């Protein structure tokens, strides 16, 4: 699973291509499969000390204006589960 840092420092076209590549990789997965992959990645990051819940919370607040209230609350609940 991609990390935010995977996209930083790249030019806009490369970053867009990377995002589309990741989108295409995950677009056909069920919600259950997506959640499984997410929790596996979080477990991996926690085990190697790279999981940063505060960075995720900050990112959520940064994009809050682009989300409707329901989506914002859903992501917020998901972050609580990841703690």
Per-residue pLDDT of the chain (83 residues; tens, 9 = 90+): 566 655 555 677 777 788 889 889 999 999 999 999 999 999 999 999 999 999 999 999 999 999 999 999 999 999 999 99
33 token code pair:
């499969």
Based on its alpha-carbon atoms, the radius of gyration of the chain, rounded to whole angstroms, reads 14
How much is the pTM?
A: 0.70
Task: Read off the tokens for 3.
Answer: 């990390």
């Amino acid at each position: 699973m991609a990390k935010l840092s995977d996209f930083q420092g790249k030019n806009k076209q490369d970053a867009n291509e990377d995002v589309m590549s990741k989108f295409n990789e995950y677009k056909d997965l069920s919600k259950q499969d997506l959640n499984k992959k997410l929790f596996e990645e979080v477990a991996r990051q926690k085990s190697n000390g790279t999981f940063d819940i505060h960075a995720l919370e900050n990112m959520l607040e940064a994009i809050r204006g682009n989300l409707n209230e329901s989506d914002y609350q859903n992501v917020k609940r998901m972050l609580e589960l990841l703690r």
